[in-house]
A and B are shown apart, each in its own frame.
Chain A
Amino acid sequence: MSAHIGDDAALYALGALEPHEIAAVEAHASACAACSRLLAQAEADVAAMAAAQRQLTPPPELAERIFATPDAPTPLRRSVSRASWIGALAAAIALALVPTAYFYEQSVAMHDAMLADANAMARVASSPHRRVAFTGQNASVMYAPDGSWYVVVIRGAKHPMHVTWAHDGEQTMLGTAVPHGDVAMLYLPKSHRMDQLAIMSGGRVVGQAQLVF
């Protein structure tokens, strides 16, 4: 293995290495636990310097660009094209939905969300469920009485919002509700009952729902 990085950790974190020296530091640190820790410490120190300077609010369009970043193409993730199954399901689901009162409740924007999460809607339309509103947010959750699935619908959502399960003083992240039109929806197939859900934005709880089983 190459020499330990030593003081170069600080230079790397400060951006003060010569360009041709950078790759060697990265390569060594990725294979050496001690140097990786050294680098982490130097990076924490530089971050502390950065945080001690005046903080500026980023323009909102930056968030939009960031959130639009596609995932790296890895075979493990949901690389199955959404379009393919949506197309197939959409017809069947439209039929399943028509007779239900649920369908008529939905706004036009909801229609987009339905297409995006077609199997969630099929679930809601075809099985008995309960519905509870969130406090603090124009949102509701529909869920199976046995806790086998949950659908969280957030209205007027401008950005993706995270949905968490609050239990034993902790928050477990369940997923992100992404807006289509101005409705954000998240379908959660589960095998257990979750009696307290929260909606989070910017690291804070902005809505809560108490479910009854």
Chain B
Amino acid sequence: MQAPLDDEALATAFASKERWAFEEAYTRFGTLLYSTAYHVLGNAEDAQDCVHDAIARVWRSPDAYNRARGALRSFLTVCVRNEAITRLRAKARRTRLHERVAAEPQEHDEIAIVDVVEHDRLRAALNRLPIEQRQPLELAYFEQKTHVEIAAHLDVPLGTIKSRIALGLRKLGTALGGAR
């Protein structure tokens, strides 16, 4: 049986706004995009809204994506993740405003807890990084902190934190086979 259309052809068609490519991109990457949003936001409803809004915005904006931006899969993943982080921060601001005590408890659906096996693949790769790279990367990825917050938290100069995160991320990407 024939090989499915490759991601390159899909990315090119997506960049030139061919409708089928928009639908195929969701069909192909929907699970990754939804999971990415879910892991940041912690519940199904917010994750859904986040994926929908992020993708729709990319699609409706005339030049959000072009081939120079690299793989469509990673571009969309980062769009969705950054949208999720923006929402999380907005929610945190609102929560602070209404005071922590009055805020409803964070709903965590049952799935988040079973999140062990694959998570371990990421954990295992992280554990092979030197601690000075691993720590700031974990704070950025799992706790969605900004580099300013991370530098303050670890009491390390900003420039140093930035280069450690960048170095750690590149090593991790290589270890996880993130060349694509």
Report which A residues bind B (CB closer than 8 A): 6-19, 29-30, 33, 36-37, 39-59, 61-63, 65-67, 69-72, 74, 77, 160, 162, 164, 166, 169-171, 173, 175-176, 198, 200-205
Contact = CB atoms under 8 A, between A and B. Distances in A.
Given A40-B70, A53-B115, 4 more contacts: A19-B86, A54-B117, A200-B5, A203-B24
B1 interface: yes
A71 B17 contact: yes
A11 B70 contact: no
Contacts, number: 243
Given A11-B147, A71-B19, A176-B20, A49 B59 contact: no
Interface SS of chain B = helix
B23 interface: yes
Interface of B: 1-5, 9, 13, 17-24, 26-28, 30-36, 38-39, 44, 47-48, 51-52, 55-56, 59-63, 68-71, 73-75, 77-78, 81-82, 85-86, 111, 114-119, 121-122, 125, 137, 140-141, 144-148, 150, 162-163, 165-166, 169-170, 172-174, 176-180
Nearest to B137: A14
A71 B59 contact: yes
B34 A40 contact: no
A21 to B, nearest CB: 9
A36 B69 CA distance: 6
Contacts of A46: 74, 77-78, 81, 141, 169, 173
Given A40-B74, A49-B176, A56 B111 contact: yes
A67 to B, nearest CB: 6
B147 A17 contact: yes
A198 B78 contact: no
Nearest to A167: B2
B121 A52 contact: yes
Nearest to A160: B23
B122 A44 contact: no
Contact of B55 (A8, A33, A66, A169): A66
A209 B71 CA distance: 32
